[in-house]
Amino acid sequence: SEETMDNLSMIAKDLIEKQANGALLQGVLLHLSQSPAQPATFYKLQLKLLDNGVYLAADLAVTPTLNRTHPHSERCDPF
């Protein structure tokens, strides 16, 4: 019946989501070319499957040269 198929699809979705999130917790290795040098570096990447999409977060380190090219860079205070 349709209800049985809905239940099976929910169980399959939950199993796949748990397995995928478990694998993502182990980390995802991304090789980004640094030649030529990139103006920003991403680290502590987080990637997670959600009900209606993918959650992606990362910390970002911006090179000082990129800060100097911004028209309002004199307003930026270092932490």
Chain segment 5-35, per-residue pLDDT in tens: 999 998 998 888 888 877 777 766 666 565 5
pLDDT of 8 reads 92
Can you say how many angstroms the Cα of residue 48 is from the centroid of all Cα atoms in its chain? 8
What is the model's pTM? Answer: 0.39
Domain boundaries, the chain: 2-75
pLDDT of 67 reads 60
What is the C-alpha to C-alpha distance for residues 27 and 47, in angstroms, rounded to an integer? 8
What is the DSSP code (8-state) at residue 74? G
72 has pLDDT over 70 = no
How far apart are the two ends of the chain, measured CA to CA in Å? 61
68 has pLDDT over 70 = no
51 has pLDDT over 80 = no
Burial group, residue 34, by CB count within 10 angstroms (0-12, 13-18, 19+) = exposed
